Amino acid sequence: MILLNDPRVREVPVNDCGEQMVSVDGIDERIAVDRSRSEIASNYDRFCYARESVTGMLRRAVAFLPRDVDFLVKEIYRPYSRQVRSFEEGLEFYRESNPELNEEALRELACQYVAPPEVAGHPTGGAVDIVLIQDGKELDMGTKFNDEPVAPENLTYTDCPFIAPEQRANRQMLSRAMESAGFVNYPAE
């Protein structure tokens, strides 16, 4: 698995394409937005804004789901300042729970859970935190939303062998739909 702090990720050139940011709220009847924001740290009112191309990808992805399953968007856009704070909070959590580890090891642990600000997709409107819903209820994905990977089970890992078959099937359904539309899964979440 390649984490977002891998040097190969940082070496990818990034250019501003000038793409417009638009709300995903209301773009498709099968794409709901969690307006409660109860499970995200950002209180920014444009949390459901994405690059225009990402909204098109979401529309294509939802078409790959069974008709009775929909998307619930938790968060897309996150201000850079919030990304920095979230990463520092994650790093501090791992410092406190693993005082024996050096900074490099702590940073690697934190990168399993929070993208380092210099490569994070949320501040660009390109990363999507999303779950599946059926009849308005979230499907069981094996962990609570925004759960942290904890060794040795690492239940947040997409291909974790320690989750129930139904949870695995739900993860596979989500992954297939998103990947069919061009999204790339971050395997630690």
Asked if the model's pLDDT at residue 1 lies above 80, the reply is no
Containing structural domain, residue 45:
17-180
pLDDT for residue 5: 83
pLDDT at 24 over 90: yes
Residue range 142-162: mean pLDDT, rounded:
85
Supply the pTM of this predicted model: 0.91
Lowest mean pLDDT among 13-17, 80-84, 116-120: 13-17
Average pLDDT of the residues in 54-63: 98
| pLDDT for position 107 | 92
Strands 137-138 and 129-134, sheet pairing:
antiparallel
Q: Name the average pLDDT for the chain.
A: 93
Res 35: pLDDT: 93
Residue 11 inside a domain? The answer is no
Is residue 98 situated within a structural domain?
Answer: yes
Domain at 140, CATH number: 3.30.1380.10
The residues near 38 (Cβ < 8 Å, ≥ 6 apart) are none
Give me the pLDDT at residue 134, please.
Answer: 98
Q: Is the peptide bond before 152 cis (omega within 30 degrees of 0)?
A: yes
Helix axes 103-113 and 80-97, enclosed angle (nearest 10): 120
- The pLDDT, as a whole number, for residue 189 is 82
pLDDT confidence bin for 113, thresholds 50/70/90: confident
Domain-located, residue 30: yes
Q: Are the C-beta atoms of 44 and 82 separated by less than 8 Å?
A: yes
What phi and psi, each to the nearest 5 degrees, are found at residue 179? -65, -35
DSSP type of residue 19: P
Mean pLDDT over residues 55-73, rounded? 98
Q: Does 87 map to a domain?
A: yes
Indicate the number of domains in the chain. Answer: 1
Q: Letter for the amino acid at 112?
A: Q
Residue 188 lies in a domain: no
**10 domain residue, yes or no:** no
Q: Which tokens sit at 126? A: 């390109």
